[in-house]
């Protein structure tokens, strides 16, 4: 799992044209950074490496996750805490961060959770601070590719059965505007910008079919048992590979929502 998240991180950074942070966010002003649902902390670790190339600024990094299971061994450079994004953060973190990042919560949050999550991020940010929330959600699977249509059908049904919400980035976009963020944008990055990303993108989809697809089939009772779920998964992987070999290799789309907390609250 740890390795999977770290490999996936490398792909997603390349998909977003090698940007850890959207170019509209002034990195020179980003001194205090939080990453929520941080997992292994790979995004924070990569960001701290990349920002350390600009010497002379002492930065503060804090990763939060609902579980500490994937946190890296403790060191002084990055702090990690267990926290659920849908619950307000301890007051010591309010108005503390110039940038709050979130990535890949689509399989974890129910529709109403997004409003609470965005409000909690708003509370963490200093006036003028930025939120950047990234997802691979339904947008990736809106495609002619028949294997994708099957994944989309299964995810829509499976996530709904668990009270989760597949249109994550569209929801974050609307909730951010309602929460008071300004200059909110939703940007789509496609792996098709670089043909060299095709093999790793195809591998990622094969992994998604073998894990999330098969487990959602089973969890939402779309198949009777584990054996039927893996059989359906294997058949879909086969079909997906055939389509890719015929030149129908689909892109992964990373949806990135960026917004700024106003410098002055409107009263
Ligand atoms: C798919 S992983 C993504 C990890 C990391 N953001 C990345 O992109 O590498 C999802 C992470 O969200 C965490 N998570 C799930 N529900 C959460 C919640 N309500 N609050 C905070 N973290 C949560 C999980 O523990 C897991 O580490």
Domain parsing of the chain, residue ranges = 1-261
Q: Does 62 or 248 have the greater pLDDT score?
A: 62
What gap in Å lies between CA 214 and CA 202, rounded to an integer?
17
Tell me: the pLDDT tens digits for 65-99?
999 999 999 888 999 999 999 999 999 999 999 99
Strand duo 125-135 + 253-260: pairing? antiparallel
Kindly state the percentage of the chain with pLDDT values over 70. 99
pLDDT exceeds cutoff 80 at 54: no
Q: Measured from the CA of 37, which atom of ligand 1 is nearest?
A: 22
Tell me: the pLDDT tens digits for 215-229?
999 999 999 999 999
Ligand 1 probe mutation, 2, 9, 37, most atoms within 8 A of CB = 37
The set of residues, in sequence order, having a beta carbon less than 8 Å from that of 143 and lying 6+ positions away, is 149, 250
Residue of the CA atom closest to atom 8 of ligand 1: 103
Tell me the average pLDDT across 41-47.
97
Fold of 1-261: Rossmann fold (3.40.50)
- 């649902």: which residue's tokens? 37
Q: Indicate the pLDDT class of residue 2, thresholds 50, 70 and 90.
A: low
What does pTM read for this prediction? 0.95
How far does residue 61's CA lie from ligand 1's centre (Å)?
Answer: 17
Quick check: CB of 31 below 6 Å from ligand 1?
Answer: no
Q: Identify which of 121, 74, 65 has the alpha carbon closest to the alpha carbon of residue 93.
A: 121
Quick check: CB of 7 below 6 Å from ligand 1?
Answer: no
Whether residue 220 contacts residue 157, with contact meaning beta carbons closer than 8 Å, is answered with yes
Q: How far apart are the first and last CA of the chain?
A: 46
pLDDT exceeds cutoff 80 at 103: yes
Would you call 223 helix, strand, or coil by DSSP?
A: coil
CA-to-CA separations, 87 to 78, 129, 212, in angstroms, rounded: 22, 20, 26
Whether residue 176 contacts residue 118, with contact meaning beta carbons closer than 8 Å, is answered with yes
Quote the mean pLDDT of the chain.
Answer: 94
Tell me: the pLDDT tens digits for 18-42?
999 999 999 989 999 999 999 999 9
Ligand 1 probe mutation, 105, 120, 207, most atoms within 8 A of CB = 105
CA-to-CA separations, 209 to 37, 103, 158, 160, in angstroms, rounded: 22, 20, 13, 18
Quick check: CB of 113 below 6 Å from ligand 1?
Answer: no
Quick check: CB of 70 below 6 Å from ligand 1?
Answer: yes
How far does residue 2's CA lie from ligand 1's centre (Å)?
Answer: 12
């Amino acid at each position: 799992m740890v390795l999977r998240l770290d490999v996936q991180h490398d792909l997603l950074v390349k998909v977003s044209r090698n940007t850890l942070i959207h170019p509209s966010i002034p990195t020179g002003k980003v001194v205090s950074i939080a990453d929520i649902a941080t997992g292994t902390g790979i995004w924070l670790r990569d960001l701290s490496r990349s920002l350390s190339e600009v010497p002379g600024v002492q930065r503060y990094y804090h990763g939060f996750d609902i579980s500490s299971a994937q946190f890296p061994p403790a060191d002084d450079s990055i702090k990690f805490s267990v926290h659920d994004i849908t619950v307000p953060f301890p007051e010591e973190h309010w108005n503390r961060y110039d940038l709050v990042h979130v990535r890949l919560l689509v399989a974890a949050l129910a529709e109403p959770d997004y409003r609470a999550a965005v409000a909690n991020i708003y509370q963490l940010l200093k006036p003028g601070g930025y939120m950047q929330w990234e997802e691979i959600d339904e947008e990736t699977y809106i495609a002619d590719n028949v294997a994708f249509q099957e994944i989309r059908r299964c995810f829509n049904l499976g996530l709904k059965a668990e009270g989760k919400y597949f249109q994550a980035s569209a929801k974050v976009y609307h909730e951010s505007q309602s929460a008071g963020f300004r200059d909110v944008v939703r940007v789509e990055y496609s792996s098709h910008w670089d043909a060299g990303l095709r093999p790793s993108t195809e591998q990622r989809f094969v992994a998604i079919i073998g894990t999330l697809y098969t487990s959602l089939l089973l969890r939402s009772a779309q198949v009777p048992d584990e054996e039927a779920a893996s059989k359906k998964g294997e058949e879909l992987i086969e079909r997906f590979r055939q389509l890719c070999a015929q030149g129908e290799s689909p892109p992964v789309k990373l949806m990135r929502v960026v917004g700024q907390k106003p410098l002055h609250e409107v009263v």
